[in-house]
Amino acid sequence: MAPVISGFSKLSKEDKIKWLAEHHFNNDVTATDTLITYWNSDEQLQRLHDEFTENTISNYYLPFSVAPNFLINGERYTLPMTIEESSVVAAASKAAKFWQIRGGFSAQVISTTKVGQVHFSYMGSFEKLNQFFDTIKNTLITSVSHITKNMEKRGGGVREIELRSKTSEIDNYYQLHCTFETADAMGANFINSCLEQFAKTLISESQTYDGFTETERNIEIIMSILSNYVPECLVKASVSCAVNELPTKPELSSKQYATKFVRAVNIAEIEPYRAVTHNKGIMNGIDAVVLATGNDFRAIEAGAHAYASRNGKYSSLTHAEIKNDIFTFSIEIPLALGTVGGLTNLHPLVKLALQLLGKPNAKKLMEITAVAGLAQNFAAINSLITTGIQQGHMKMHLMNILNQFKATDSEKEQLIKYFKTNTVTHSDVVTQIEKLRQE
């Protein structure tokens, strides 16, 4: 077991690696070499990455891929996608190509409001607290004017502060439930700074409020933090076409295809076990764009899954229907994204990703990202209701298996050719490699 170390963060990167080698890798040089191999030779760039987080000892690569041919609201996009899972980018590209000759994707932002809360305890009547709140509401808002000044110039700011009693669930528990607009920023720092100031103002104002007894004055702030549940930062995207424009398969007419597709989505609407996987597939596309554009994919994931459970039962984020022989497939998802601040101007690949998208504002990025999720879900359901998912997956996974066996270029070429007409299974790939190597 490694010994306890204090002051680890103060060690140089080299000394951190030395400590790891000694206490975790038995001084094996391959561990050290692996970490160093991934350092960037451009020292300035490496320093930039080192300083994103603490205790950085190396870089962790993920593929930076692109999916072309996305027609969204009449404009053509090539989507940047950062994801390690094979098939995702290929599936997105395939769906984009399919829909671009059928009118493309429509997308529209419904709302962009974000939420933050000051959670506090108060011993007294709600009526009195409410009176106090009414008298200090303006003071609360002006107390953050130094924080909101710039945001207001960009059209954002504090929209509302509401006092909420939660005493039916926890004794003496109240909230300032606050809503914000953050323009093109994701706005986490802005919101949290406002909330912390609201908390301070709440306390200072309570100290001089005549209407309170000593006990009532004793308000305790529990915490002040934004919420990643953003049901009012919502975007919708959809595709639609005549049923007879949908794929026909040897075993399915386009009408049967449409019916089966809608049924697959209906299953995800009512069956949580399926809905989680269905939505996971949606998030394959969404997270990939969110990561590539330097946004916080954990926040997006948390918000999306909470939204999927908003009616008390976890359900699908997408919906499909056939009406008057028109097939429509749509997504509705909360996406609190930013195109300024955070990593957007710092990480060279994030900057490039945003450039690739034509430097979108936050609303446009919400639309593009929702489309990535819808496209991914379309591709997944298309495979699931026809060939099954493994055919495409294993085709794409073939390269991973070949790399695992350190296949040479010529071995890869021969085996890719062989698996064009044979089902890819892990064991058959191994058999074929061994056979080649014996020859």
Note the residues at the interface with ligand MEV (CB under 6 A): 85, 277-278, 280-281, 284, 380, 384, 389
Least CB distance to ligand MEV at residue 89 (A): 12
Quote the least distance from Cβ 278 to ligand MEV, whole Å. Answer: 5
Considering the complex, what minimum distance in angstroms separates the CB of residue 424 from ligand MEV? 16
Sheet containing strand 157-165, strands side by side: 157-165, 173-181, 114-121, 220-227
Catalytic residue among 49, 85, 260, 321: 85
Amino acid at 32: T
Cα–Cα distance for residue pair 48/44, rounded to 1 Å: 6
Nearer Cβ to ligand MEV, position 338 or 373? 373
Which residue number, 229 or 261, has a Cβ lying nearer to ligand MEV? 261
Q: How far apart are CA 180 and CA 116, in angstroms?
A: 8
Query: How near is the Cβ of 241 to ligand MEV at its closest, in Å?
Result: 21
Catalytic site residue from 97, 280, 305, 351 = 280
CA distance 233 to 391: 37
Known catalytic membership, residue 50: no
86 vs 148, which CB is nearer to ligand MEV? 86
Per-residue tokens: 33 = 């070499």
Active site residue 280: yes
Residues 6 or more apart whose CB falls under 8 angstroms from that of 187 comprise 114, 151, 156, 180, 226, 336, 338, 341
Integer CA distances (angstroms), 411 to 404, 406, 426, 438, in order: 13, 9, 16, 12
- Least distance from ligand MEV to the Cβ atom of residue 300, Å: 16
| C-beta of residue 39 within 8 angstroms of C-beta of residue 54 | no
* Cα 40 to Cα 31: distance, rounded to the nearest angstrom: 17
Out of 50, 196, 296, 367, the active site residue is 296
Which residue's Cβ has the minimum distance to ligand MEV?
281
Residues forming the active site? 85, 280, 296, 393
